[in-house]
Amino acid sequence: MSAYFNGVVVRSAGARPAVEELRLPEIGPGQVRVRIKAAGVCHSDLSMVNGTVRSPYPLVIGHEAAGEVVEAGEHVTRAAAGDHVVLNWQPPCRECWFCERGEPWLCATSSGVAALENGITLDDAPVHVSLGLGAFADYVVAPANAVIRVPSELAFEKAALLGCGVLTGTGAVRNTAQVAPGESVVVIGLGGVGLSVVAAARAAGAAEVIAVDVSEAKKGLAEAAGATDFVVSSDALSKEIRVRTSGRGADHAIECVGRSATIRAAWRATRRGGKVTVVGMGSNEDLVQLSALDIFSSSRTLRSSVYGAADFDTEIPRLAADVLSGALSVDHLISDRITLADVPEAFDRMSRGEGARSVVQL
């Protein structure tokens, strides 16, 4: 039965989001209805609000979330009412060329989809939901392959972070960069993803993890995540990194901002033959310029890490088990606990570079 519920909606690019009343449709075959219990405020949400990522509007924002299944449609076998689940904003089809060759994070069906309609309405008209979810809301309707069960002992606010920030950051280290024990790692940008990269790099045995941010206030958060050093970003960043890495530069630089300037900074901070991994999602118009000679002579590798190059269905249960066992801590990532109405202020703090992750509790 259809019901009204609250969600955070942005009406146009650059407009301030606001809580509005929405109407949730009945679920169909292969779908589930999830009551959202916690949702993290991710920079990708801000990119959709300010138009950096082009999306149709009006748009219900939010994608990093966990909740409880309240209803499952016909033919759904992977989740049932009462299950605690983490939401996957890029559920793979398991049938396309990429999925069949073991790269579900590049799924031809779901990859790159910024927003969808799923039957939710606003003012009696269809409304889009960000990344197929629209999780800054009391409820979502999603395909069954977009949910993965986690133990009920795992707190919802911790489970929510696994669905984007932690999975993305951890996967960038383990799967894409493949950081090895004893290597040096520079991490540029210390939001929730960047701090997850710091923690994962230390867990991988990196000898040096140099955290970089524009805000001196991030130093304490970086140290809590396991950074061995902290540097305030400046035009002299590459020199600062070389001073700390025997004059060579770091073995790895992992960029978590998504701007051409920080990608170039990561490139310059990396040693010859090193690896640069771009995690931040940037604008289509923000071009990265590198000289042909530099690319040849430096022998560096530049690649991106999409969703941590991880298979959600196997990685989320593993991360959940690590959190419950104490092998992985995410407590330091939560800087603010907020309500739906507080989401605009959380974006303001994010724009100013304050804190780590704001988590909406419902």
Q: Rounded mean pLDDT of 157-162?
A: 97
Between strands 139-143 and 31-40, the pairing is antiparallel
Q: Rounded mean pLDDT of 52-71?
A: 93
Rounded Cα–Cα distance for residues 184 and 195 (Å):
16
**Per-residue pLDDT, 304:** 96
What angle do helix axes 43-50 and 343-351 make, rounded to 10 degrees?
Answer: 100
Its pTM surpasses 0.95? no
In a shared domain, residues 25 and 142 = yes
Which of the residue ranges 51-60, 130-139, 349-358 has the most confident prediction, judged by mean pLDDT?
130-139
Which residue from 216, 175, 217, 212 is spatially nearest to 194, judged by alpha carbons? 212
Listed in sequence order, the residues at least 6 apart from 314 whose beta carbon sits closer than 8 Å to its beta carbon are none
In a shared domain, residues 198 and 240 = yes
Lowest mean pLDDT of 43-47, 59-63, 174-178, 256-260, name the range. Answer: 43-47
**Per-residue pLDDT, 199:** 94
Model confidence at 208: pLDDT above 70: yes
Model confidence at 1: pLDDT above 70: no
What pLDDT digit, counting tens, does each position of 104-131 carry?
A: 999 998 877 778 888 899 998 999 999 9
Q: Residue 35 burial (CB < 10 Å; 0-12/13-18/19+)?
A: middle
What pLDDT digit, counting tens, does each position of 332-354 carry?
A: 899 999 999 999 999 999 888 88
Q: Rounded mean pLDDT of 7-34?
A: 94
Residues 281/260, Cβ–Cβ less than 8 Å = no
**Per-residue pLDDT, 115:** 84
Residue 325 lies in a domain: no
What angle do helix axes 237-244 and 260-269 make, rounded to 10 degrees?
Answer: 30
Model confidence at 300: pLDDT above 80: yes
Domain that holds residue 174: 165-306
In a shared domain, residues 338 and 274 = no
In a shared domain, residues 133 and 178 = no
In a shared domain, residues 301 and 335 = no
User: How many Cα atoms within 13 Å fall on the side-chain side of residue 360?
Assistant: 30
- Output the average pLDDT for the chain: 94
Residue 313 lies in a domain: no
Residue 278 lies in a domain: yes
> What CATH number is associated with residue 191?
3.40.50.720
What pLDDT digit, counting tens, does each position of 271-297 carry?
A: 999 999 999 988 888 999 999 999 999
In a shared domain, residues 109 and 180 = no
In a shared domain, residues 235 and 355 = no
3-state secondary structure of 17: coil
In a shared domain, residues 171 and 200 = yes
| pLDDT above 90 coverage of the chain, percent | 83
pLDDT band at 51 (very low <50, low <70, confident <90, very high): confident
Residue 348 lies in a domain: yes
Q: Rounded mean pLDDT of 81-109?
A: 94
Residues 2/26, Cβ–Cβ less than 8 Å = yes
What pLDDT digit, counting tens, does each position of 221-253 carry?
A: 999 999 999 999 999 999 999 999 999 999 999
Count of residues for the chain?
A: 362
Residue 13 lies in a domain: yes
Question: How many domains is the chain partitioned into structurally?
Answer: 2
**Per-residue pLDDT, 2:** 58
